[in-house]
Structure 1
Amino acid sequence: MSKSTEQPLLWHYTSFEVLISIFKKESVPVMRATHIDFLNDKSELKYGLSRIIDSLNDDNDNETIGKCLKERELLVAIGETLGLHFSAVDTRDFLALKEDVKNIYERVVIEQLISTTPDFYTFSLSTAPDSLYQWLAYSSQQGGIALVFHNFTSLVDIVDDSKYRHQLINTVSKVDYLKIGDNVDIKLSNVSGSKLDYLASNAILIKHPAYEQEKEYRLMVNLSNEEKGSIPIHYDASKPYIELPFDPILLKEIYISPRGEKDQSEKLVQHFLSNTPCLSHVKIFVSDIPYRG
């Protein structure tokens, strides 16, 4: 089959086995969102938090002692809820006050948030179409597939089921690839609710520029404020996850990896689609990337 003429929005690079698990219950297919503590080394979260901290109060021309004091007051309040205490600072010395605020951020946010990861679940997508970088990262030598969604923001419309509540679902968010010194536009004073959750949810969307080829988007679900047991937590051999139901009409295409036996993989996917009525609209495309490996 020739290559698609439409530009898909978001890709999920994965395996045929994952496709089977998604449509295990054809009436309500589900994507799995994994707890962030089981995704990557915590250095990734720490990197994002560090970029946020470096950006706060770094513009001397636009900052005032009053604004800095308000920021410090909020941080101290957060720290006290965690059992932390802070020494007084000379509020007349602007530079000393700014340095004190940064130090409190590092102590409250990095030390505490890294040691007690928020109860966030997430899964990733990409705007990189038919990407060799992604195929090498997420498909095995035996092959793999990519699920292509043209409209992913509504992927997790919650079905009429008492186990799920629509307000738990966040929109898909773009990951920013920031180097040291790049500005992050975040103001803690504008946040209602948990400041730590807010900082963590933004830090998760920041990665080192070395990963920019991923062109990643993330969907996040925050269970931090939910009653234990209200949302079923599932487990496999390596991680906890939650299930997010979606409308199968949102899956538009399936691409076959350039790795492995492409013809056999295409035949397998075709057979699966022919026996899954809710996916009769899905088109199959085979990557045209020349690959030997």
Structure 2
Amino acid sequence: MKFTTLILLCMATMGPPAHASEHWPQRPITFVVPYPPGGTSDIVARIVANRLSETIKQSVVVENRPGANGNIGANIVAKSKPDGYTFLLCDVSALAVSPTVYKSLTFNPETDLTSVAMLSFSPFLLVTNPALHVSTLRALVEKSKGTNADFNFAATSIGSISHLTGLEIKQKTGAIWQDVFYKGGSEAISDTIAGHTQLLIAGIPVLAPHIQSGKLTALGVTSASRIELMPNVPSLEESGIKGLEVGAWQGIFGPRQTPNEVVSKLNSEINNILQLPDVQNKFKELGADTKPMSVEQVNTLFRDEAKRWSSVIKNANLKF
């Protein structure tokens, strides 16, 4: 066999060249959402997936893989082939704090995942049962310190961002309450409405109907300023807690070693989608703002969130 023929045969068996990612995507893409259908992450994923499929001319499938506060779905993506066709769409803060909360985690978010894009930020609401007869954060803090006070805070799970936000509020205000843990947000909300627990922190979409019906009282929103969806609810910042901007940061990550060309292109496509007025309006209906970022900005936010919540956990001497 001639040498040149041998070379050509070897090249043919080597598969596609490294620059094949330049032609991405050539088949459907999957967004793994590590939570049940119907939540903020799921809704955001479907809004973005629909518009992205139009711009890249390929289907974008949303696959819900809930469990372990998002870690089951995250692990699936971390262990998937880094070919640019499987991505994680999740709450960035929850992902960042996972190594501190879950000691037996089978993946490392910082080293096994690649930041791709940021989508949105939606703050939480601090609410109480109306029977508590408080309408401001200051009144809540003062009443919690009373001799006959017996406040229970409904947390969705130990180490969840809503739980850690409650801890940070206690650390910054001196408020006193006991944490009661639930397997899911709906049960926590139901028990607070029933008066079994007195207060909780959760997302705007799930709490808004109960506030409007008078079953819950909103004391504050965990953003730097008031939000358009609820202009009469003060921010906790203006209520006296400085530096408290907390909520669901929805971001996209890929497996480690996802081609840089794919990451760059998807980041650009996502950021363009976030500029569309109809997308921004749909996000606002969720109490969320679009947050286009560069890949490096996503990396910085991830590191900052991990550092922030690790400090809250340490100060609370929280054990898992």
Q: Identify the TM-score tier after normalising by the shorter chain.
A: under 0.3
**Structure with more of its chain in helix, by fraction:** 2
TM-score by length of 1: 0.24
TM-score by length of 2: 0.23
